[in-house]
Structures are given as structure tokens and as C-alpha cells.
Amino acid sequence: MLHYALKRLLSLIVSLAVASLVIFLVVEVAPGDPASFMLGVNAQPDTVAALRTELGLDQGKLARYLSWAAGMLSGDFGTSYTYRTPVAGMIADRLWVSLPLALYALTLSTLIAFPAGIYAAARRGQPGDMAVMGATQLGVAVPNFWFAMMLVLIFAINLRWFSAGGFPGWDAGLWAGLHALTLPAIALALPQAAILTRVMRSALLDILGEDFMRTARAKGLTRRQALWRHGVRNALIPVLTIIGLQFSFLLAGAIIIEQVFYLPGLGRLVFQAISSRDLIVVESVVMLLVFAVITVNFLVDLAYALVDPRLRSRS
């Protein structure tokens, strides 16, 4: 297991190094100069040049990349061009919204998908199975921002159970923070729960047709006992893959939901940074999200090895 983990860790480090270089190059080739954008079209050339020097934009791309990469390793993401504050502090403030939102949505989608997928697999071809599959088809087809608008219309405007947007901060209390994130989390969770339900059902149906499941039934286990004792555990590998991908998506791809609910998360920070050509903020946030995606995939690989020991012997 240790050898397997070390190999995956080495792969993680290489992936992060390559990703940092790609992110820097892609952002740097984007049109527009941050200094010119900040000063406006009527700024004098010498003023623009002075600001470029102050921001470090007059250095070569290699020097800037090495300085940025070295700073990230030490926890220094640089200073925002627009807000003139440390990028690390800006990211930390927004992360305390985006990360709980992603975890909240992932928890909801898992709590919905696991029982729904198991229920549908245990009743294949029956009305309950068809009802679950119909609901998941709807969940996959409808975009999450439509769910978000419907939730606001029903629960915020009509019933007034929740606020239509905004975030009071965790200083207002745990309940206040979770209450503000509930509608966004539901909007994010519903499409992901639909996908995860279909994967869980499909994986279980494949397992139910295996020889060891028929052997378990021949030894006297009922279909329900065989499903819970042997089926669910062996169906977890594809499910863990989807859960890992979903967490990465929920953390990095919630920009539209954050816009709908006016949440001060990482998605809105990236959107604002792109609009103002704040390159160092864009690079740092995207790199952080890539780190989260790669780290989650690393943890999923380790979970694979725990669920299926055969993977360790193949590495």
C-alpha cells in the first residue's frame, strides 16, 4: 500500500508542476495589459511603464513564472493588481464560502443518490425503478441554474423560508451560514445526485450478475442480504470515481450558482479578476482549483486501493 501511495504521490507532484506551467502560459497570452487597464486608455506611457515596473510586469515571463511558483510553494500568492491586497488572504476569505458549499452539495447529492440507486437496482424493471430513472433523466437534463431560480422563486420569494441571496458570514453563526448555503447547495446537488444515482444503479446491476453474487444466493442469502453484504461494497469503485469528479466540479464550477445567489466565493472572485485583468489572482485561484482536483483524484486512487486490494498488486 505504501509503494502504491508513493507512486500516486509522485504522479500528483508532476501533474501539479505541468499544470502550473500551462496555467501561467495560457493566462499570460491573453490579450490586454493589466497596467493599461487599471489606468485607462488616456494614461501617459511613462505612467503605464511605472505601474508595470511596480507590479513586476516588466520582468521576463520565465522570471515571473519562477517567482510566482516559488511564492506558491511558500504560501505567498503575490499581491492583487486591482485590490493591492495579498492574494492568499482574498482566496482564504472566498474559500470559506466555496468549500463548505461544495461539501454541503456533495453530502446532499450522496445522501440522495445512494438510497435511490440501491432502491432502483433492487427493483429493476418495476415501477419504482422507472420512477427513479425518470427523475434522474430530468435531473440530468435540467441545468442547475434553472433549479436555482426555481428554488429562489418558491422558497425565497413565495414562502420566504430563505433569503434570495447573499452570505452573512460564519461570524453570524453556523446555522446562519448553513441556512444561507442551503438553496445554492440544493441547486448544485440535484443534477449531481441524478448522475450519481444512475452510476450507482448501473454498477449494482453489473455486480448482481456476477458469479460470486449467485454463489451468495445459493448459500442461502436473500437478494436483499446479498445486495447489502456483497453488492454495495463491490459497486463502490465507479461510484467513488464520480464522487471525486463531482467534488472537483462543485468546488471549481459553481460560478453560475454563486452569481445567482450573490455568494462571495471563488467563482465570483475569478470572474471579477478576469474582468479587471487581475492576472495573478486568476493564476492563483485556477492553480488552487487544479490542486484540489488533482488531490481529490489522488485520494480517490487511495480509496480504490482500500476497496479493491487487487489494484495494489498491479502497481
Residues 188, 107: Cα–Cα separation, whole Å? 11
Give the residue-averaged pLDDT of 15-28.
84
> Which stretch, 9-13, 39-43, 222-226, 253-257, has highest mean pLDDT?
9-13
Helical pair 87-122 and 236-252, crossing angle rounded to 10 deg: 150
Residues 266, 259: Cα–Cα separation, whole Å? 11
Give the residue-averaged pLDDT of 175-201.
91
Q: What is the pLDDT of residue 225?
A: 67
Least confident of 156-165, 183-192, 213-222: 213-222
- Read off φ and ψ for residue 165, nearest 5 degrees: 175, 180
End-to-end, the C-alpha distance of the chain in Å comes to 10
Residue bearing the bigger pLDDT, 167 or 219: 167
Positive/negative CA dihedral, 155, 103, 97, 37 = negative
Task: Tell me the per-residue pLDDT of 198-228, one tens digit each, with 9 for 90 and over.
Answer: 988 888 888 777 777 677 767 776 666 677 6
Q: What is the dihedral angle through the alpha carbons of 296, 302, 307, 312, rounded to the nearest 10 degrees?
A: 150
Which ranges of the chain does DSSP label H, i.e. alpha helix?
A: 2-28, 34-39, 45-55, 61-73, 87-122, 127-141, 144-151, 174-208, 211-218, 223-226, 232-234, 236-252, 255-260, 266-275, 279-307, 310-314
Task: Tell me the per-residue pLDDT of 84-96, one tens digit each, with 9 for 90 and over.
Answer: 888 888 888 888 8
Rounded to two decimals, the pTM is 0.79
> Which stretch, 73-77, 102-106, 201-205, 273-277, has highest mean pLDDT?
102-106
Distances (CA, A) of 164 to 86, 100, 148, 156, 258: 31, 19, 10, 5, 12
- Three-state DSSP at 159 gives coil
Q: What count of other Cβ atoms lies within 10 Å of the Cβ of residue 223?
A: 13
Share of the chain above pLDDT 70, in %: 83
- What residue type is assigned to position 170 of the chain? W
Q: How confident is the model at residue 104 (pLDDT cuts 50, 70, 90)?
A: very high
Q: How confident is the model at residue 106 (pLDDT cuts 50, 70, 90)?
A: very high
Task: Give every CB contact of residue 204 below 8 A, 6+ residues apart in sequence.
Answer: 117, 118, 121, 122, 227, 231, 232, 235
Residues 135, 151: Cα–Cα separation, whole Å? 17
Distances (CA, A) of 229 to 113, 115, 203, 220: 19, 15, 15, 13
